[in-house]
Amino acid sequence: MGQKGEETRGRLLDATRDLIETGGYFGTGLNQVVAASGAPRGSLYFHFPGGKDQLVAESVRRAGREIGETLHALAETAPDAAGLVAGVIRLLGDRLEESGWRKGCPVATVALETAATSDPLHRACSDVYGSWEEALRLRLAADGHPEPDDAAATVLALVEGALLLARAHRSREPLDRVTRRIVALL
């Protein structure tokens, strides 16, 4: 695929991510994706012949890689696992607040709405969460944490819950509270 095709595909994925993150899977239509991306309708079907589920699954995976890259970058500069998690929560909180409390986790909405009913979306969400958990586990293990598997799952659950509460309350307070608890736990 040429550069123009990759750019069009990227615009479709970015538009999908923004729309599903703010409006949910069921609140996002393909016409909205086409309009938001500025791509021709035919490009949607060319790049995503599997339809909406393929488009959303690839968008979730792309968003997951972006957050994963942030995790890995912070893991290299943070003094310890607690510092890594505090940095991630701060960045996600900034993103959430800057979006007017509309953009929390780019995976959570899709996972909540579709993971039980769509195998491709279930796999995409599970893979992304698994990769984030693994990044946390690796840092915890490197820091000598006695139970890195359990701690990574706990931390990820706390972060996801804090993002949901922050969005619901339109406040950073849940993020701040969870950050303090994670630092104390680790």
Residue 1 has pLDDT above 70, yes or no: no
* Homologous superfamily (CATH) for 57-185: Tetracycline Repressor, domain 2 (1.10.357.10)
Structural tokens at position 38: 């500025």
The pLDDT tens digits for 105-137 are 889 999 999 988 999 999 999 999 999 999 999
pTM above 0.85, yes or no: yes
Q: 74 to each of 5, 65, 91, 105, 114, how far by Cα in Å? A: 32, 14, 10, 18, 30
Structural tokens at position 134: 């693994």
Count how many Cα atoms sit within 13 Å of the Cα of residue 52 in the half-sphere of its side chain: 16
The band of 104, judged by pLDDT with boundaries at 50, 70 and 90, is confident
**pLDDT for res 155:** 97
| Domain ranges for the chain | 57-185
Structural tokens at position 18: 């923004």
| Three-state secondary structure string covering 98-121 | HCCCCCCCCCHHHHHHHCCCCHHH
